[in-house]
Amino acid sequence: MVCFSVRDMLHFSSPNLYLDANATTAVLPAAQAAAQRAMQQQFGNPSSSHTQGLVAKALLEQVRSLAMDYLDVGPGRLVFNSGATEGIQTAVLSALCAVRERRNNGQAVGRCLVYGATEHKAVPQCLAHWNTVLGLDLELRALPVDSQGLHDLAVLAEWLPDTALLCTMAANNETGVVSDLAAIEQVLESSQSTALWLVDGVQALGKLPLRLQHSRIDYAPFSGHKLYAPKGVGLLYVRAGAPYTPLVVGGGQEGGWRSGTENMPGIAALGAVFQALQRGDTFASLDTLQRYRSALENSLRSAFPDVVFNAPLDCSLPTTLNFSVPSFSSKALMDVLDAAGLRVSAGSACSAASATPSYVLQAMGLPLWRTASAVRLSIGALADQALIDQACAAIARCAQALQSAAAQAAPQPPATAAHAQPHKAEWSLQWADLPAFLDAHSEALLVDVREEAEHQICNVFPVVAHALSHAPARLEFHHIPLSQLEQHRSLTLQAPTVVFVCRSGKRSLQAAQWLHRQGHTAVHHLHGGFALSEGAPLL
Ligand code: PLP
């Protein structure tokens, strides 16, 4: 246990090294400016026939034509929408309506919906949903991948004669593995398949050449927020002649293909991103990104000599590293990396909350320990040398902290964590209420329950002190890792009031529940944890 006085604390400064670009990215300054213009000067409704509307319409079509050029869609169409999940829905609905129609007309049509086993969850979920809603009773089949994450083309060839729709992503969000779309296309051609083909292009946009008119891809969804445009804007490519059924109908926008007044700030921002891509002067080149990734790879290898990389680096995006370190769970590593300011992920952002082993790595046949220890580090095309240098230094610091924490007494598993009780709202203190609470409870004991290495990397007490500028000067903080609470039972039981704190509020809630079960009634925890202490007010 460590005990600190507020007076001893240094001013807090935490780096924010964002290495989770496959989850989302910040918005490019030029894209922000374009969105701002679309909200202030060019704010018209593109369907209005007055001048303000005509300006908005011109902007909309200018962005579309930039995107059409960049993606080389030829006679195909690009429909603006809210993002890739919507694009996937629309493509699947379109394909399944066509299957139904063909079936009703007595035409031969496959009975299977085939998707790559490592697809983003939006794909199989959407296939299952529309298959049920439309009452088609088609069979969903996950196309196996090999240990490198590449589709099994022999199985594909076997399944194709009975396949109505094939879904394969261009690049995987968790591993960065780049699918061999040319080889898949060859299998489709050589088997003379009539299957429709959906390619999720989200992670490939801006990182891989996509010349859509030269492929037989029928549908390709894209998402703005993975490439420095805001969330809530995306595009769906539809090959000329591919069946189409709108998902959203109403006012007839987008030529009736996607109704609803267009998200013009988002579309304008996307336009600025396509302009930057076309000029080639804003984003790092693939060679530079490759160099950055090698630097990160080397720093991981020297920090953790037994690190293993979960995807072959020579056939994955130059922006993604997925790795595991023996004896560290994803959560343990991510906690300490986050304490060092490194924002990384255990897999896809969508599944981050569930803490289950990665289904993507499971599909690649990796052993359980690797699927349960995986950490994804992904850089965006705006990364620069300074970010990479700081990230490498932070990785080295994390390894040192983990080593020195391991040298200390082996932690006991928290006795009560396994049977966590439901959230007790009355235990939760909000940041805004903390100073007043501590004024009223000057005897309160504040306990940071993060693990030793996290505490070594980032002493969060100054954060709290900073937030509590008028807190009682004699206030003391204690650091007792959640895994060692049992050993310090009497200290916490004897304190008249206890407030547990951690990074996200999860472990502090567990600690509060544990102490409550020990019979202490004046127990609280800081809702949202330190994570909410930084940055601007939420509203
Ligand atoms: N497909 C892939 C490969 C993704 O990475 C994501 C986002 O995580 C999606 C689809 C969903 O995209 P959106 O957030 O635009 O709905």
Secondary structure in 3-state letters for 446-478: EEECCCHHHHHHCCCHHHHHHHCCCCCCCCEEE
Longest CA pairwise span in the chain (Å): 82
Q: Which stretch of DSSP H or E encloses residue 57?
A: helix 51-71
Tokens of 516: 């409550």
Give the pocket of ligand 1 (CB within 6 Å).
83-85, 120, 122, 169, 173, 200, 202-203, 223, 234, 348-350
Residue nearest to atom 9 of ligand 1 (CA): 84
Judge contact between 377 and 19, C-beta under 8 A: yes
- Distance in Å, CA 85 to ligand 1 centroid: 6
Dig out the tokens for 268 from the structure: 């304008």
Complete edge-to-edge strand list for the sheet that includes strand 445-448:
2-5, 476-479, 445-448, 498-501, 523-526, 428-429
Q: Which atom of ligand 1 is nearest to the CA of 172?
A: 3
Best probe residue, ligand 1, of 86, 123, 203, 223 (max atoms within 8 Å of C-beta): 223
Report yes or no: 283 and 382 within 8 Å, Cβ to Cβ.
yes
Q: Count CA atoms within 13 Å of residue 20 on its CB side.
A: 20
Distance between CA 483 and CA 476 in Å, rounded? 21
Cβ–Cβ < 8 Å for 230, 27: yes
Q: Which residue's alpha carbon is at the smallest distance from atom 7 of ligand 1?
A: 23
Per-residue pLDDT of the chain (539 residues; tens, 9 = 90+): 544 444 343 334 468 999 999 999 999 999 999 999 999 999 999 999 999 999 999 999 999 999 999 999 999 999 999 999 999 999 999 999 999 999 999 999 999 999 999 999 999 999 999 999 999 999 999 999 999 999 999 999 999 999 999 999 999 999 999 999 999 999 999 999 999 999 999 999 999 999 999 999 999 999 999 999 999 999 999 999 999 999 999 999 999 999 999 999 999 999 999 999 999 999 999 999 999 999 999 999 999 999 999 999 999 999 999 999 998 999 999 999 999 999 999 865 555 455 678 999 999 999 999 999 999 999 999 999 999 999 999 999 999 999 888 877 555 544 444 444 545 567 888 888 887 888 888 888 999 999 999 988 888 777 777 766 665 556 678 899 999 999 999 999 999 899 999 988 999 999 999 998 999 989 999 998 888 876 556 77
pTM of the model: 0.90
Judged by DSSP in three states, 220 sits in strand
Give the ligand 1 atom nearest the CA of 224. Answer: 15
**Is 350 designated active site?**
yes
> How far does the centroid of ligand 1 lie from the alpha carbon of residue 362, in Å?
20
Please tell me the predicted confidence (pLDDT) of residue 420: 47
Instruction: Choose the catalytic residue: 350, 398, 458, 502.
Output: 350
Query: If you measure from the C-alpha of residue 476 to the centroid of ligand 1, how many angstroms do you get, rounded to a whole number?
Result: 45
CA of 119 to the centre of ligand 1 (A): 10
- Nearest C-alpha neighbor of 332 from the set 382, 373, 272: 373
